[in-house]
Structure 1
Amino acid sequence: MNEAARQSDLAALRTEVRAVSDRTKRLPGAGALVLTAIITAVVTVVLMIAVQRLHLDALIPQR
C-alpha cells in the first residue's frame, strides 16, 4: 500500500515539476531583458533632452 502511495506521489511531483519547467521556459532570457533596459534608458534620455530643449521643465512648479 505504501509503495503504491509513493508511486502516486512521485507521479504527481513529476507532473508538477514538468509544469513549472514549461512555464519557466517561456520567460524572456537575459538578452531580451538587457535589450529592454537599454531601449528604456535611451528613450528616457531622448525625452529628457526634448523636455529641456522645448523648455517644458518650466511647466513643472518649483517647490
Structure 2
Amino acid sequence: MIPLEFNRKPRSLDELQYWKATEYRTFLIYLGPLVLKDILDVAVYENFLAFHFSITILLSERLKKKI
C-alpha cells in the first residue's frame, strides 16, 4: 500500500527510462535513501544523501518563509 501523498505508485528501477517527474521526486525525497542504502558503494551513497538533504532543505516551508 502506498500513502496518498504519493501521486503515483513507484515503478521498478528497471523502468527508469519511463519514469515521470513525480516518480523522480518521490524517489529522491522519500524512497531513494532506503532503496539505495545496500545497493550503492558507501561513497556514492553518501553523495546521494548529501543531494537528498540539500533538496529537502530547499523544499522546506520554513526556508521559503524567510526568503
TM-score by length of 1: 0.35
Q: Which has the higher contact order (CA 8 A, sep 6+)?
A: 2
Scaled by the length of structure 2, what TM-score is found?
0.33
Larger Rg: 1
More helix by share: 1
